[in-house]
Amino acid sequence: MESDDFVLPGTELGFAEEFMPGKGTYEDDGKVYSAMTGTLKIDMKERKIIVEPRTNIIPEPKVGDIVIGKILDVKQQFGVVRVIRLLGNPRELPDTIGTIHISRAKSSYVQDISMEFSGGDIVKAKVVDIKRHPISLGTVEKDLGIIKAYCSKCNIALELENGKLKCPNCSSIESRKCSSDYGNGNV
Amino acid sequence: MKVGEPEEFIIDGKRLDGRAPDELRPIKIEAGVLERADGSCYLEWGGNKVLAACYGPREIHPKHEARSDRAALRTYYRMAPFSVNDRKRPGPDRRSVELSKVIRNTLESVVFLHLFPMTAIDVYIEILQAQAGTRCAGITAASVAIADAGIPMKELIPSCASGKIDGKVVVDLFDTEDNYGEADVPVAIIPRTGEIALLQMDGNLTQEEFEEALNLAVKGCKDVYEKQKEALMKRYGGE
């Protein structure tokens, strides 16, 4: 097999002594095989084989990506987010948890993070670090933050009125770190 | 003799539909036919018409089905009400629950589930038209759909049945042969290693006949495997 060849799952790519099996490949009984449908890439310098899929791919968050998630919990120092999708990609991420640290919630000083996020809210955030699990997210930019929030008393979607979040049912005012496109449904 | 049963299944070395004993029905496979599914496949195998769709890895509900060490592969084999001569009563029944299970077990042997713990991979197999051998058609279509979804897997998994009619072992029974024949042996293999991923038997065969049937089915699987590869190559452009 040569670099740029089209490979299918199960195609033999080389010997395990010869190449390191990278992404999209697997090793079995001393040989390297493809696990994906795509293009073979051989790195002769690193002696590494990978397969770049040509199919619909399972999304993975990278540093700098904008993601859509749901706030699961709010702790003293950070909010916990279930990262659901990358912005603009309809395919769901497989079981990814992220955290938004209090220092990355917004550009100004945050006294109490529960004033910025609340469980059940939908958030748009930027991926800051993926080295550790859970991954780190930030909502400092103007267009990042909560894009849909729910009333803490009646669990009804809050509406943006004169820059404030108001519950249409009980008229209570709540505070969040809102994205500039709150309520637009731009996901 | 039952109503509708033919007197002879093999006339002048030809079967009732004109095939030779070791000849498969014509197979047509197309990958990536559904827009909203993560991966999909449409398969026509003689009179069988099967649509397979694959979703995931995605969040699992109900949560108790989640596995901390691997993805839960869930398969749903379903026959459309209009898929057979008499209306098939919709909804799960004993047969489709069993077929969902054997298809799941077959697919589990090739998909790298340990890469996606706490998630679900859902495979829906819809039988639009049935003419015997739908479980084999279902497995064949499902494995192409999983590959089309970009889920890492060891290999595509082809499946093919063989059986016995008029005391003779033949490959890939169609409905008349299946209904009035003497035996049916569905087989699925992992082509590279030759491992058997599915083996069932309905009816009676002697040991020699069984071995002949298994060999014929494995040979059929290899032909099906070529068709699966062609389908993915056509969709994603070989060269």
Give the DSSP letter of residue A88: T
Q: How far is B152 from chain A (nearest CA, A)?
A: 5
pLDDT of B2 reads 77
Residue B3 lies in a domain: no
Considering the domain architecture, whether residues A70 and A142 belong to the same structural domain is answered as: yes
SS3 content of chain B, % helix, strand, coil (to 5): 30, 30, 40
Residues of A in contact with B145 (CB under 8 A): none
- The reply to whether B2 falls in a domain is no
Cα distance between residue B49 and residue A9, in whole Å: 24
The answer on A80 and A43 residing in a single domain is: no
B231 lies in some domain: yes
* Out of A6, A12, A56, closest to residue B38 by CB: A56
Q: Which residues of A touch B (CB under 8 A)?
A: 6, 8-10, 12, 24, 26, 28, 33, 35-38, 53-58, 82, 84, 91-92, 94-95
CATH number at residue B158: 3.30.230.70
The ipTM, to two decimals, is: 0.91
pLDDT of residue A82: 96
Domain span at residue B27 reads 23-236
Check whether B82 has a pLDDT greater than 80. yes
- Chain B residues in contact with A54 (beta carbon < 8 A): 236-237
Of A35, A56, A95, the CB nearest to B112: A35
> Is B1 inside a domain boundary?
no
- Angstrom distance (rounded) from CA B53 to CA B32: 9
Flag if B150 and A28 touch (Cβ within 8 Å): no
B13: left (phi over 0), alpha (psi -120 to 50) or beta: left
Which chain A residues are Cβ-neighbours of B39 within 8 angstroms?
55-56
Residues B160, B216: Cα–Cα separation, whole Å = 9
Q: Give me the CATH number covering residue A88.
A: 2.40.50.140
Cα(A135)–Cα(A128) distance, rounded to whole angstroms?
A: 8
Q: Is residue B72 part of a domain?
A: yes
Specify the pLDDT at position A187: 76
Which pLDDT band holds residue A186 (cuts at 50, 70, 90)? confident
In a domain, A30, yes or no: yes
* A20: enclosing H helix or E strand: strand A20-21
Task: Tell me, yes or no, whether A113 and A142 share the same domain.
Answer: yes
Q: Is the pLDDT of residue A78 over 90?
A: yes
**Residue % of chain B over a pLDDT of 70:** 99
Question: CB–CB of B150 and A35 under 8 A?
Answer: no
Q: What is the DSSP letter of B64?
A: G
Model pLDDT, residue B5: 87
Residue B216 forms part of a structural domain:
yes
A80 and A140 co-located in one domain: yes
pLDDT tens, position by position, B205-231: 999 999 999 999 999 999 999 999 999
For residue A184, pLDDT over 90 is answered with no
Asked whether residue A159 is assigned to any structural domain, the reply reads: no
- State how beta strands B119-129 and B72-79 pair: parallel
Under an 8 A CB cutoff, do A6 and B237 touch? yes
In this prediction the pTM is 0.94
What's the alpha-carbon Rg for chain B, to the nearest Å?
18
Interface test with B, best of A13, A32, A55 (most B CBs within 10 A): A55
- Look at residue B183 and give its three-state secondary structure: strand
Least confidently predicted of A1-5, A23-27, A29-33, A69-73: A1-5
Phi, psi of A134 (to 5 degrees): -70, 155
B159 lies in a domain? Answer: yes
pLDDT at A150 over 70: yes
| pLDDT score of B238 more than 80 | no
Mean pLDDT of B185-190: 97
| pLDDT on residue A98 | 97
pLDDT of residue B139: 98
User: Do A36 and A70 have their domain in common?
Assistant: no
Is the pLDDT at B20 greater than 60? The verdict is: yes
pLDDT tens digit string along B202-211? 999 999 999 9
pLDDT at B24: 97
Calculate ∠ Cα A70-A76-A78, nearest 5°.
Answer: 40
pLDDT digit string (tens) for A111-140?
999 999 999 999 999 999 999 999 999 999
Q: Is the pLDDT of residue B239 over 70?
A: no
Q: Is residue A153 part of a domain?
A: no
How far, in Å, CA of B217 to CA of A148, rounded?
Answer: 56
pLDDT tens figures, B85-140:
999 999 999 999 999 999 999 999 999 999 999 999 999 999 999 999 999 999 99
Whether the pLDDT of residue A169 is over 70: the answer is yes
User: Of A28, A37, A91, which has the smallest distance from its Cβ to B147's Cβ?
Assistant: A37
The domain that holds A15 is classified in CATH as 2.40.50.100
Q: Domain count of chain B?
A: 1
| A41: confidence class by pLDDT, cuts 50, 70, 90 | very high
- On whether both A85 and A136 belong to a single domain, the answer is yes
In chain B, how many H helices and how many E strands? 4, 12
Cα separation of A114 and A108, whole Å?
15
- Let me know if residue A61 belongs to a domain: no
**Which domain does A138 fall in, by range?**
66-147
Q: Confidence band (pLDDT; 50, 70, 90) for A77?
A: very high
- A104 pLDDT more than 90: yes
Whether B212 is in a domain gets the answer: yes
Question: How many folded domains does chain A comprise?
Answer: 2
* Chain B residues near residue A28 by CB distance under 8 angstroms: 154
Which residues does B contribute to its contact with A (CB < 8 Å)? Answer: 32, 38-39, 56-59, 71, 110, 112, 116-119, 147-156, 191-192, 229, 232-233, 236-239
Determine the Cα–Cα distance for residues B140 and B158; give it in Å rounded to an integer.
5
